[in-house]
Structure 1
Amino acid sequence: MSNDSPEVAAIEAAARDYIEGWYAGDVARMDRALHTDLVKRILVDEEFRPVTKDRMIEMTASGGGEMPDPEFEIDVYAVSDGIASARTVSPEYIDHLHLVETPDGWRIANVLFITRD
């Protein structure tokens, strides 16, 4: 997807707040990235383990990923009428994101993630 669009840049900024906020332990950035009704899940032993926005904020405040200057990738796959799909790849995780455009900007509403080996 073309990165020339202001819309794509705003989606990438939300994903960047999510990843950089996590690794920097920056609660303000994590809060800004996530929708209030976030549903984040990982499949473990055939069961989903959910993580709420409040829990993400707590974990971020406790130090988050505790990794200075991690390398990561952000790919925006699709944008359509106020919703978007993207993927982030960081040293620890691969996250598939669904974002929604709100009056306050783009927010991550759903995350399905795996840990990297």
Structure 2
Amino acid sequence: MNDADEVRATALDYFEGWYDADLARVDSALHPRLVKRSVDQVGGRDTGATTKERMLELVRAGAGLEDRTDDPIEITVVDVHRDIASAVVRSAQYREYLHLLRTPDGWQVVNAFWQLTDPDDEVGK
């Protein structure tokens, strides 16, 4: 597998793991120092950020199960440069821009910036 394929596989572990409440997949995909923010978190409504620990709590609680659809998850690897990469993920509910780092454990998501695909949808707000 080349780097772009490995980045794509990591993004799928993150998203499919979320939708399937698969803790192992999400855990392996996220870097311990993950910073995940939504437009609202940057825009002033909520100034916090979501950590890896919080994401794993949400996965344990099955929070992504209600988001699950049969719609495809589209992943575009924008760039890979040595040990860093950028990807865009498009799913039925979310658009996420990911920054990834190559670690001894493989590629992991370090930064995620997301917005709902339907601004009238209240999921995640």
Q: TM-score, normalised by structure 2?
A: 0.85
Task: Count residues with an aligned counterpart.
Answer: 113
Compared with structure 1, are the counterparts of its residues 39 and 15 closer, same or farther at alpha carbon in structure 2 (3 Å cutoff)? same
Q: Is the 8 A contact 1:24 1:64 kept in 2?
A: no
> How far 1:82 sits from its partner (Å)?
0.4
| Cross-structure match for 1:65 | 64
Where do residues 18-57 of structure 1 align in structure 2 (5 Å cutoff)? Answer: 18-44=14-40, 46-47=43-44, 48-57=47-56
> How far 1:6 sits from its partner (Å)?
1.0
> How far 1:70 sits from its partner (Å)?
4.1
SS at match of 1:91: coil
Compared with structure 1, are the counterparts of its residues 12 and 60 closer, same or farther at alpha carbon in structure 2 (3 Å cutoff)? same
User: Which amino acid letter does the alignment assign opposite residue 51 of structure 1?
Assistant: T
Using the alignment, how far apart are the partners of 2:11 and 2:4 within structure 1? 11
Using the alignment, how far apart are the partners of 2:39 and 2:63 within structure 1? 20
| Cross-structure match for 2:79 | 78
User: Which amino acid letter does the alignment assign opposite residue 108 of structure 2?
Assistant: R
Sequence identity (%): 42
- Higher percent of residues as strand: 1
Q: TM-score, normalised by structure 1?
A: 0.90
User: Which amino acid letter does the alignment assign opposite residue 116 of structure 1?
Assistant: T
Q: Is the 8 A contact 1:82 1:100 kept in 2?
A: yes
Task: Name which of structure 1's ranges 25-34 and 45-54 shifts more when overlaid on structure 2.
Answer: 45-54
Unaligned runs of 5+ in 2: 119-125
Q: Is the 8 A contact 1:23 1:70 kept in 2?
A: no
> How far 1:90 sits from its partner (Å)?
1.0
Compared with structure 1, are the counterparts of its residues 29 and 70 closer, same or farther at alpha carbon in structure 2 (3 Å cutoff)? farther
Q: Is the 8 A contact 1:33 1:107 kept in 2?
A: yes
Unaligned runs of 5+ in 1: none
